Amino acid sequence: MDFLVEIQLHYGNNFEKLNMIRDWIGQVYEVTNENKRYIAKVFRKEHTKQALQSVEVMTYLKDNNFPVPSIITTLDGNKYFVYKHQVVVLYEYIDEEFVDKASNLYTLGKQSGWMRKLMESYLGEVTNHGYEFFINRYLDIMKMKKYQGTNKFVELGNYLWENVKDLPHGFIHGDLHVGNMFQSKNEIVFFDFDACAIASPVYDIATTCDATDYFDLSEDNFKNGFIQTQKNVTEFLKGYENYFNLSKEEEKAVYNFIAIRHFDIQATIIESQGLACVDEQFLEDQYLWLGKWVER
C-alpha cells in the first residue's frame, strides 16, 4: 500500500484503489479515482532515460493531435514523480478494444507515416539505436551465459546488420506491435514509447507487419508467417505511402529486421528476467529458425 500512498501524495487523496496489471519490463497498475480509471507505470531504475524520453515524445505527439494517451500531471504540475529511484508516470485509461491487424493495415501504415513525419519537427533529444542496441546486446548476454554457439550468432548478426546499416534513419516507435495499440472509438491509439529512437524506420514496419509468432519456432509458423507477412507489408505500405515511399532496399530490409528483432526482443527479456530465463535449447532452436528465415 506504500505505492498507493505515493500516488495520493502526488495526485490527491481521491485515488483509492490500486491493482497490479503486470510486472514484466516495468510494473503497470490500474488506479481508480472516484470510479475513473488511470494507468500508472513504474519504470525500472535502469530505464530512467527511456522513461523521461517517452514522456517528452508522447507529450509532443499529443500536442500535435496524434492519438496517444494523455499524461496526467501531478499536483505540482510535473509529468512524473520518482518512487524508490524509479520514474512513475500516470496515464489516462483508454477504453480499448483489441486492434485487428488484418483489417487495419492500411490505417496502421498511414498512422505510422504520420507519426514519423510529425517527429521530423521534434526539437527534443532522441537516442540513437544502432548495432550495439539491436545486435550486440544479445551477443554480450550470450557471452555472459558462456553459450557455446555464440560465434554463429555473431556471424548471423553481422550479416543481418551489413544489409541494413546504410538505410536512411528517422524516428521509430521501437515496439510497434498490436499489443501496444488500442482501438478507441474511430482511431487507433499508440502507446508504450519506451523503446523509441532514431534508427531505420523500416524496423517499425517489420514489427507491425511480422505475421510470425516470436515464441513459436515451428516449421508451420515459419512458412505461414512468411506468406502472411508479405501480404501485410503490401497493404501497410499503401497507407504509409501517404507520407513516405520506401526504396527497394528498404522493402527488402523488412525481412532482415524481423530477424534482427529476435536479437532485440530476447536481449530485452533477458535483461529484465535474468540469464536463466532461456536455456541452450531455446538458443539452438532460435538459431535454426533464423537461419531458415535468412535463407528463405
Q: What is the mean pLDDT of the chain?
A: 94
Indicate if 163 and 25 belong to the same structural domain.
Answer: no
Indicate if 134 and 28 belong to the same structural domain.
Answer: no
**How confident is the model over 124-132, as a mean pLDDT?**
97
The residue from 64, 92, 120 where one domain ends is 92
Of 109 and 97, which is predicted with more confidence? 109
- Of 56, 115, 60, 130, nearest in space to 87 by CA: 56
Angle between helices 150-162 and 280-295 (to 10 degrees): 30
| DSSP label at residue 1 | -
Of 97 and 166, which is predicted with more confidence? 166
pLDDT band at residue 217 under the 50/70/90 scheme: confident
The residue from 42, 74, 92 where one domain ends is 92
105, 25 contact by CB (below 8 A): no
pLDDT band at residue 270 under the 50/70/90 scheme: very high
Domain that holds residue 44: 2-92
86, 45 contact by CB (below 8 A): yes
Indicate if 114 and 156 belong to the same structural domain.
Answer: yes
Alpha-carbon separation of residue 206 from 5, 46, 116, 202 (angstroms): 42, 27, 15, 6
Q: How many domains does the chain have?
A: 2
- Within a 13 Å sphere around the CA of 278, how many CA atoms are in the beta-carbon half? 23
Interval 54-81: pLDDT, tens:
999 999 999 999 999 999 999 999 999 9
Stated length of the chain: 296
Interval 174-188: pLDDT, tens:
999 999 999 987 889
Indicate if 115 and 242 belong to the same structural domain.
Answer: yes
Indicate if 70 and 105 belong to the same structural domain.
Answer: no
Checking if the pLDDT of 207 tops 60, the result is yes
Indicate if 213 and 77 belong to the same structural domain.
Answer: no
Question: What is the rounded CA–CA span in Å between residue 266 and residue 290?
Answer: 13
**How confident is the model over 98-116, as a mean pLDDT?**
96
Indicate if 106 and 54 belong to the same structural domain.
Answer: no
pLDDT given for residue 55 in this prediction = 98
- Of 237, 266, 260, 31, nearest in space to 131 by CA: 260
pLDDT given for residue 1 in this prediction = 55
The residue from 57, 92, 127 where one domain ends is 92
Domain CATH for 67: 3.30.200.20
**How confident is the model over 18-38, as a mean pLDDT?**
89
Domain CATH for 231: 3.90.1200.10
Indicate if 73 and 139 belong to the same structural domain.
Answer: no
pLDDT given for residue 264 in this prediction = 97
- What's the predicted TM-score (pTM) here? 0.94
Interval 219-254: pLDDT, tens:
777 788 889 999 999 999 999 999 999 999 999 999
Interval 91-106: pLDDT, tens:
999 877 889 999 999 9
Instruction: Tell the residue number behind the cell numbers 529484465, with chain if given.
Output: 272
Indicate if 19 and 123 belong to the same structural domain.
Answer: no
Question: What is the rounded CA–CA span in Å between residue 5 and residue 99?
Answer: 34
Indicate if 12 and 82 belong to the same structural domain.
Answer: yes
Checking if the pLDDT of 199 tops 80, the result is yes
Indicate if 78 and 109 belong to the same structural domain.
Answer: no
Indicate if 110 and 222 belong to the same structural domain.
Answer: yes
pLDDT given for residue 186 in this prediction = 81
Question: What is the rounded CA–CA span in Å between residue 161 and residue 159?
Answer: 6
